[in-house]
């Protein structure tokens, strides 16, 4: 703030009020009157009032405050004045950020008249931090009281939905009351899923049969939410704690548990078959291997290609001179699909198991470990900046993890004849319109690996 008898100080007054604070004599008019009186007494020229009405002090996403910050950056102000510190913010972090990073950084002082201090003095600067702590404490206490009230409602069995009722219920007077027509749909969904239909199948069926309920059945995500929601067995949940609800259940607990077991089993299987930390974009990704050098094939630009040949990712290159043939994605996909369609598991069980080529990245892993050791030595002698060393070590560690994961997981999947038959049937159902990841899930149950050697394609089925 500029000082001196002959220099006019240009100040901006910020006023905020929320609904709760209307009851605390912090009205806009009250704050405005006190700010005007203060500035008149201090010979401060009020350039503008910035007013946020009905805005919480818990964040800084307020229209008037954002405009004030723009004007501060434009160097048109000498000081920002508020009636009380918590009018600026109730968050300690936001308060200090606004004062130090926005106001003071732009040579704009800050004054809070209720606490009688400003940033011109060391005492004022210290008091800002102290009072911000108490403003944050007040906010936390309000939040705690609110949370305790909601916990109390949950313990009493009341559903917390903010007026929104889950499918199958209506929200009446703060209670869940069964909507018979929607409850019938929920029961049908649970039975279909428990009888072996996939989430995708259920979504297609429900969205067509109950088109009027498009809000509920418009996506697979909503289907999953209904199938996993404990509200249907008479429970309510708040802050990850389950309480006995006061409403009437729609689904028997035995059926609900059966459905959750299906989800759990599917998740375990999907985790077991996961071969890459990245979501695959082609049907056969992570299943195809080069018959010449042993590297993986990957799908790009319409082709499945050996990593060694394309050199797209050096972590997967085994033989830089590999010349294995590229396959059109649709051609190799069709070859595998036709093969799966013709599988006869009664004859498969009589075939001797094939010995798939094992992957060995141990040489590269040892090289990575040596490189990391060298980087650590370089750090100790201080010849390379720490941020450079950190970046290199992180990249090498990630590469090592991917290679080790590929070696560890290549042959660790155990399946039963029933698993193979079920996966084949499910894959056939998904072919026309199923989700790509679900199709891949079925193939990873059926196929151990696909080895491509120019024109020859060897599809190795898992041994039950």
Domain 9-142 has CATH 3.40.50.1390: yes
Domain limits, the chain: 9-142, 169-268, 288-359+410-461
Tell me the fold of 169-268: Hect, E3 ligase catalytic domain fold (3.90.1750)
**Structure confidence at residue 412 as a pLDDT band (50, 70, 90):** very low
Which letter, b or e, does each residue of 280-312 get, where b requires 16 or more Cβ atoms within 10 Å of its Cβ? Answer: bebbbbbbbbbbbbbbbbbbeeebbbbbbbbee
The encoded tokens of residue 432 equal 């026309």
**H/E element, 322:** none
pTM for this prediction: 0.36
* pLDDT for 299 beyond 80: yes
Q: What is the pLDDT of residue 310?
A: 83
Contact 281, 259 (CB under 8 A): no
Q: What is the pLDDT of residue 80?
A: 94
Out of 18, 56, 266, 272, pick the active-site residue.
18
Of 351-360, 399-408, 438-447, which one has max mean pLDDT?
438-447
User: Residues 281-288: what's their mean pLDDT?
Assistant: 84
User: Residues 197-210: what's their mean pLDDT?
Assistant: 82
Contact 45, 8 (CB under 8 A): yes
User: Residues 225-239: what's their mean pLDDT?
Assistant: 85
- Whether 308 sits among the annotated catalytic residues: the reply is no
Task: Read off the pLDDT of residues 365-410 as tens digits, 9 standing for 90 and up.
Answer: 777 778 877 776 666 566 566 667 777 777 777 666 655 655 555 4
Residue 116's φ and ψ, nearest 5 degrees, are: 60, 50
Q: What is the pLDDT of residue 1?
A: 47
How far, in Å, CA of 226 to CA of 231, rounded?
A: 9
Q: What is the pLDDT of residue 274?
A: 44
* pLDDT for 74 beyond 70: yes
Q: What is the pLDDT of residue 348?
A: 47
Q: What is the pLDDT of residue 159?
A: 67
What is the full DSSP assignment across 210-273? Answer: TGGGHHHHSSHHHHHHHHH-GGGGTEEEETTEEEE-SSPPSS-HHHHHHHHHHHHHHHHHHHHH
User: Residues 103-113: what's their mean pLDDT?
Assistant: 90
Contact 129, 188 (CB under 8 A): no
* pLDDT for 203 beyond 80: yes
**Structure confidence at residue 222 as a pLDDT band (50, 70, 90):** confident
H helices present in 51-98, as ranges = 63-73, 85-88, 92-96
Q: What is the pLDDT of residue 83?
A: 92
Q: What is the pLDDT of residue 345?
A: 66
User: Residues 5-22: what's their mean pLDDT?
Assistant: 77
| In the chain, % of residues over pLDDT 70 | 71
How far, in Å, CA of 310 to CA of 317, rounded?
A: 9
How far, in Å, CA of 274 to CA of 422, rounded?
A: 19
Q: Considering only 58-62, 243-247, 356-360, 432-436, which range has the smallest mean pLDDT?
A: 356-360
More confident residue, 246 or 312: 246
Q: What is the pLDDT of residue 372?
A: 77
Average pLDDT value for the chain: 77
Apex 240 CA angle, 238 and 241, nearest 5: 70
12 burial level (CB within 10 Å; 0-12, 13-18, 19+): buried
């Amino acid at each position: 703030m500029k000082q001196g008898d002959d220099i006019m100080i240009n100040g901006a007054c910020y006023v905020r009020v929320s609904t709760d604070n209307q009851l605390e004599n912090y009205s806009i008019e009250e704050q405005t009157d006190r700010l005007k009186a203060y500035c008149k007494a201090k010979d401060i020229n009020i350039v503008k009032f910035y007013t946020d009405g009905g805005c919480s002090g818990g964040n800084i996403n307020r229209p008037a405050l954002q405009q004030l910050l723009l004007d501060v950056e434009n160097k048109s102000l000498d000081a920002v004045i508020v009636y009380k510190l918590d009018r600026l913010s109730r968050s300690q972090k936001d308060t200090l950020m606004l004062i130090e990073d926005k106001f003071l950084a732009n040579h704009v002082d800050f004054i809070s008249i209720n606490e009688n201090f400003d940033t011109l003095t060391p005492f004022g600067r210290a008091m800002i931090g102290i009072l911000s702590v108490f403003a944050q404490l007040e906010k936390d206490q309000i939040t705690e009281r609110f949370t305790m009230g909601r916990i109390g409602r949950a313990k009493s069995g009341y559903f917390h939905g903010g007026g929104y009722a889950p499918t199958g219920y209506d929200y009446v007077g703060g209670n869940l009351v069964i909507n018979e027509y929607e409850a019938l749909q929920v029961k049908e969904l649970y039975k279909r899923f428990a009888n072996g239909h996939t989430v995708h199948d259920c979504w297609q069926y429900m969205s067509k049969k109950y088109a009027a309920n498009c809000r509920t059945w418009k996506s697979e995500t909503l289907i999953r939410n209904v199938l996993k929601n404990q509200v249907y067995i008479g429970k309510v949940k708040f802050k990850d704690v389950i309480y006995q609800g006061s409403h009437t259940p729609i689904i028997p607990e035995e059926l609900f548990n059966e459905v959750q077991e299906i989800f759990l089993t599917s998740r375990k299987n999907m985790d077991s078959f996961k071969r890459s930390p990245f979501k695959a974009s082609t049907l056969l990704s992570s299943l195809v291997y080069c018959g010449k050098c042993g590297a993986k094939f990957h799908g790009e630009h319409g082709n499945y290609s050996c990593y060694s040949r394309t050199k797209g990712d050096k972590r997967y290159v085994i033989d830089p001179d590999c010349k294995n043939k590229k396959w059109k994605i649709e051609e190799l996909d069709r070859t595998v699909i036709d093969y799966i369609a013709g599988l006869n598991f009664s004859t498969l069980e009589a075939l001797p198991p094939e010995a798939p080529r094992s992957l060995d990245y141990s040489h590269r892993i040892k090289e990575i470990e040596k490189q990391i050791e060298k980087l650590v030595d370089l750090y100790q002698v201080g010849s390379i900046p720490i941020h450079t060393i950190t970046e290199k070590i992180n990249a090498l560690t990630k590469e090592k993890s991917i290679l080790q994961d590929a070696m560890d997981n290549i042959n660790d999947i155990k399946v039963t004849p029933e698993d193979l038959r079920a996966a084949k049937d499910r894959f056939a159902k998904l072919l026309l319109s199923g989700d790509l990841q679900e199709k891949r899930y079925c193939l990873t149950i059926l196929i151990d690996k696909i080895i491509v050697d120019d024109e020859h394609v060897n599809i190795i089925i898992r041994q039950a």
